[in-house]
Structure 1
């Protein structure tokens, strides 16, 4: 079975798409090449790095990339993880399967530092379940 090329797209490529990239890589192993990008680039959110490290996944070396950097890659699947990215998603040529799941943006969380981190963990866990399910049904299925 050939490797699939998967792109996870978000607005700023700082939280949700980075977390999804980390989990998709983790669950897919060698079955897929996973990339993430944004309609804009905001840098990888340090809190996203922290909550992923708590679950033993290192995304500290990830970079924040603009979607246009990947236009030359023949993607099999594009996953948008926020409504804004879904609406602004550029056209990808070829037989690209599109998937969409709107996750809350943990970077918009307010409250005490602990409450903010709890929101990051909550969103991380939602994305983890989605990524495991996605790999099971669309990559290894």
Structure 2
């Protein structure tokens, strides 16, 4: 992991998670812990309305947190209830945190490769529906990262667990002087909560 991202993770680990948020995160912890106990692969699909901001941040930071805490058999995905595009400020925010980010094509819905470790495959990021062929078909947890998707999409086909973990949309700051600050704060919040989740997982060798 490059020094800039390692330093950023040090900042993540210093963040406090409130008891209220810990309660919201507990069902996801329980889901991952059961998968580890059963020695089964973990598939997480982070879902928001447009798959443009929060769901991508959650996907990327969950993948990094799993790697950081040695949970190897995990794949994180993201999707929306409709397709738009990954908002460029998300790629910029992740780059500022220390990720290597490549825009693989120039299109209305561009595809990005986001690399967090020299020996790990990059996260491939682009906007897609939650049931896109790129995403898992079954045996996954659907994590609803916005209230609109949670309320407007009551049934997620193939999901064995549904977990609402909603975040405030940084879109509210677009085209304002506060935009960079708000996107950084939302990224740090999501990262901190994903790191907290994986910090609670006991490895299978230590389970009774």
The counterpart of 2:73, out of the listed 5, 8, 31, is: 31
**Superposition CA RMSD, Å:** 2.3
- Flag the structure with larger Rg: 2
What is the deviation of 1:111? 6.0
- Are 1:124 and 2:187 counterparts? yes
> What is the alpha-carbon distance in structure 2 between the residues aligned to residue 88 and residue 138 of structure 1?
31
What is the deviation of 1:110? 4.8
Segment of structure 1 superposing worse, 15-24 or 65-74: 65-74
- Are 1:91 and 2:156 counterparts? yes
- Are 1:3 and 2:41 counterparts? yes
> What is the alpha-carbon distance in structure 2 between the residues aligned to residue 67 and residue 12 of structure 1?
10
**What corresponds to 1:109 in structure 2?**
173
In structure 2, stretches of 5+ residues that fail to align are 1-38, 102-111, 114-124
TM-score by length of 1: 0.85
Alpha-carbon contact 2:82-2:129 (below 8 Å) kept = yes
How many residues matched? 139
Alpha-carbon contact 1:7-1:75 (below 8 Å) kept = no
What is the deviation of 1:103? 0.7
In structure 1, stretches of 5+ residues that fail to align are none
> What is the alpha-carbon distance in structure 1 between the residues aligned to residue 61 and residue 47 of structure 2?
14
Segment of structure 1 superposing worse, 100-109 or 18-27: 100-109
> What is the alpha-carbon distance in structure 2 between the residues aligned to residue 140 and residue 42 of structure 1?
38
**What corresponds to 2:6 in structure 1?**
none
